[in-house]
Structure 1
Amino acid sequence: MNKSISSTTGTIKYRLKDIHAKGQTSIILDYSFGRNKRIKFATGYKVSPKNWDKTHQRIRAIATINNREKVNSDLLKFSAEFLDAVTGLNEEEKQSRQILKSILINIIRGGDDTKKAFTSFFEFADDYIERREKQSKTISSVKLSIITVRSYKQTINRLKEFNKKVNYNLDFDSIDLKFYYAFVKFLEDTNYSINTIGKHIKNLTTILNKATEEGVNTNLKYKNSEFKVLSEESISIYLTEAEIDSLYKVDLSKTKDWELARDIFLIGYYTGQRVSDYNGIKMEQIKSFNGRGVIEFKQQKTNKLIYVPLHSRIKEIMNKRYNGFPPPKLNAPDINEFIKEAGRKAEIEEPIIIKKKVKGEIITETVPKFSLIQSHTARRSFCTNAYLSKMPTIDIMSISGHSTEREFYKYIKVTPQERAVKIADSAFFSN
């Protein structure tokens, strides 16, 4: 067998599903066609990685493998018949995943299983994420953020953990309301928040919709109204200008980790960006326009190009502790841990009453404000304080990257009293 089987329509390669498997793993037909399009189809055969010839894409000549010749012969037959069938399609049909998969089903499964998914749920999900991840690097028109790809991967990892722990034998056919409630309970028992659980359900639904659209999945039980995305109002705080001042002025020189986290957090506050953008800015991002310093951001989540005026306190932080350079990058979980300690040292201790759902029960408790500070608090604090300072909303949005005023007003944390004070300063109430 050649390294690949090519034609003017595409290229077929055979590979193993898991090259590091300890036992046997599936032999996958991998068909590449069009512009960055791929189909992966399980051939129904398995082999141990040590018995697979990657170069020639066939099972090695091992005496203990009785059906080696049949498997190798079938692999050649599958690819030859498939390419022959594709050659007879028109150009539009050659780009249709559903048509191509139907051909593979007929060839490999004898045409008796046309309603069955071409592969397992996890194989499809991994393939879908891999495709979207490559698109996010190569095709600007369908660019998917690194953050979103990471979120999909987290969802699949949680599903694999669930499948392993409860031995659910998860596949397209078993995704129904029974699965839904079992998976939600698993996540609740693992102490995930309601909103995190909702995120995983949303991601799962997105993948199932794509599988259905591509003709891979025919089980529509996930469209039941009870198969819903759970959510609750998140516990989101913002730091007032006075609290930001306290955080800026507190001496953390004896705890360098806390100091670094505080400095990175303040850069987030004075730029209004997400932690994925403000953590680890480079010197080349700092530019000068008409004699004014600005920081250039290419937002990872939205792909928007944003310019933010360089605040004097950012310059002071850079000059005082980092030889004129931005502070080095710190792992996001460490920022979340250390910024709470910095907030405690800065005596940001206003009592906050929180309610949360734990294993189906509502729990109410009072916690000091510093314990709720996290990396995202910087961005929310900027938006809220900028709004209260009477900065025009459109200017705040040009920095934060919010697309609509409705989205922006949902995001900021302004109490009715604070809004009333702001309104009182308007021309109408000043007469």
Structure 2
Amino acid sequence: MSKSIKPTSGTIKYRLKDGNSKKETSIILDYSFGRNNRIKFATGYKVLPKNWDKTYQRIRAVSTIRNREKVNSDLLNFSSEFVDAVSKLDDLEKQNKNVLKSLLFKIVRKNENNDSIITTFFEYADDYIEKRENQAKNIDAVKLSPITIRSYKQTVNRLKEFNSRVNYNLDFDNINMNFYYTFIKYLEDNNYSVNTIGKHIKNLVTILNRATEDGINTNLKYKHSEFKMVSEETVSIYLTEADIDALYKTDLSKTKDWELARDIFLIGYYTGQRVSDYNGITKDQIKTFNGKEVFEFKQQKTSKRVYVPIHRRVKKIMEQRYNGFPPRKLNNPDINEYIKEAGRKAEINEQVTIQKTVGGKKTSETVPKYKLIVSHTARRSFCTNAYLSKMPTIDIMSISGHSTEREFYKYIKVTPQERAVKIADSAFFKN
């Protein structure tokens, strides 16, 4: 006997996302209506397949599942509320996937405070970004960086421009390979680089994945193997020990902004941290263990707590120019601008060739090295120089926060020749 619920316009069933899983899997509300029309919507609940009653579409009476009654009650309420909501629609609305998905979204997600019904891709994308932005402001929530949120906004803005200029009528149902190639060509025609295009594809897929999980999107053509992020290797420089020495010794006392940026950058280099951690260090982060002064960091990106010895040059910078304190925080765009000027003054002029694809065309340009210095160069330079100095990789990673050696080796900038020299100094080749 079927236990599914049959409203006048369709059939509701509950099923598991993966009935063969050894782990908990999502409970999916499956609504079939009309001719070959179907909506799948994640209820937000998970269960082990062995604890799921397929016939009755409920969690079995298992004593170890404390919230079983609540989950089963919610599933019943979802069905009841949805049937009631569908009965109030007109015949055209009952066949409209977007209207039906929005009803489920409001019922299952308990979105009573939002009276507007989310039906389109752009409505969902704007709502997604707004929620992530509010989440980032909540000190108790997992933080998304302002840079990540800005990146999402840029992607949605590019999509809106594309939609307007190409007159594509973009929505969930027509995001497919034709859209993918048309969107990429549009970006190329507007002189975007390969990596910028790849960033927008990556952000779009993130939003589509979440919309699919929320049951708003049922079109999975974006999961095609060719619907992928495009990229090309970029030139990421590191400063050699000689470059760092020149930067440290350069007199910038007449240009205080450059001097401040240089000092912050050098602290980033001698601590191996990300700019979000090394820019704005406070006195409270200075700790003493066994007579050794260290900086204590709780890395913003990973939440890892790391301790880094305070280098003598960092101590000298703080004592000579900042009354023993770390320098004040400086906006990251200003660091990126001023550190280039400091690098120019320090005569970091090695010529570097940059090759990249812009607007679908490969370009090549040779520039002095100082023009490529940014705040992140400090961390990459630390990791690379520490490796070349034969500091054990595990010790470098304990400072930088890299989780795996594979990730670390991809990150550092060491030529095959430099690696060969380092290997030549190992005990194996010396004995």
Could you say which TM-score interval applies, normalised by the shorter chain?
0.7 to 0.9
Gaps of 5+ in 1: 1-32, 36-87
- The CA deviation at 1:120 is 1.7
- The CA deviation at 1:224 is 2.4
After the TM superposition, which residues 91-102 of structure 1 pair with which residues of structure 2 at under 5 Å, given as runs?
A: 91-93=73-75
Matched residues in 1 for 2:336 and 2:159: separation?
26
SS of the residue aligned with 2:204?
helix
Corresponding position: 1:232 with 2:232: yes
Matched residues in 1 for 2:77 and 2:429: separation?
64
Corresponding residue of 1:405: 405
- The CA deviation at 1:89 is 8.5
Q: Sort the Cα spacing of 1:155 and 1:107 in 2 relative to 1 into closer, same or farther, 3 A.
A: farther
- The residue type paired with residue 228 of structure 1 is K
Corresponding residue of 1:41: none
Matched residues in 1 for 2:83 and 2:327: separation?
55
Corresponding position: 1:370 with 2:352: no
SS of the residue aligned with 2:97?
coil
Corresponding residue of 2:356: 356
Corresponding residue of 1:3: none
Corresponding residue of 1:45: none
- The CA deviation at 1:139 is 9.1
Gaps of 5+ in 2: 1-42, 46-69, 103-118
- The CA deviation at 1:171 is 2.1
Matched residues in 2 for 1:423 and 1:131: separation?
50
After the TM superposition, which residues 46-195 of structure 1 pair with which residues of structure 2 at under 5 Å, given as runs?
A: 90-93=72-75, 107=88, 112-113=94-95, 115-116=97-98, 117-118=101-102, 119-135=119-135, 144=144, 147-195=147-195
- The CA deviation at 1:154 is 3.4
- The CA deviation at 1:153 is 3.3
Native 8 Å contact 2:198 2:231 kept in 1:
yes
User: What is the number of equivalent residue pairs in this alignment?
Assistant: 346
Q: Deviations over 1:334-387 (max 9, x none)?
A: 211111111111111111122111111111222111111111111100000000
Q: Sort the Cα spacing of 1:89 and 1:391 in 2 relative to 1 into closer, same or farther, 3 A.
A: closer
Corresponding residue of 1:319: 319
Corresponding position: 1:241 with 2:235: no
- The CA deviation at 1:311 is 1.3
Matched residues in 2 for 1:99 and 1:238: separation?
62
Matched residues in 2 for 1:99 and 1:396: separation?
58
Corresponding position: 1:264 with 2:246: no
SS of the residue aligned with 2:202?
helix
Matched residues in 2 for 1:334 and 1:371: separation?
14
Q: Sort the Cα spacing of 1:318 and 1:146 in 2 relative to 1 into closer, same or farther, 3 A.
A: same
Native 8 Å contact 1:34 1:95 kept in 2:
no
- Structure 1 residues 133-142 or 145-154, which shifts more? 133-142
Q: Sort the Cα spacing of 1:172 and 1:394 in 2 relative to 1 into closer, same or farther, 3 A.
A: same
Matched residues in 1 for 2:405 and 2:82: separation?
44
Matched residues in 2 for 1:257 and 1:311: separation?
23
- The CA deviation at 1:219 is 2.0
Q: Sort the Cα spacing of 1:173 and 1:426 in 2 relative to 1 into closer, same or farther, 3 A.
A: same
SS of the residue aligned with 1:307?
strand
- The residue type paired with residue 342 of structure 2 is A
TM-score by length of 1: 0.72
Corresponding residue of 2:391: 391
Corresponding residue of 1:292: 292
- The CA deviation at 1:114 is 5.4
- The CA deviation at 1:156 is 2.5
- The CA deviation at 1:184 is 2.4
Corresponding residue of 1:333: 333
- The CA deviation at 1:99 is 9.4
- The residue type paired with residue 280 of structure 1 is G
Native 8 Å contact 1:356 1:363 kept in 2:
yes
Matched residues in 2 for 1:89 and 1:300: separation?
35
- Structure 1 residues 281-290 or 387-396, which shifts more? 281-290
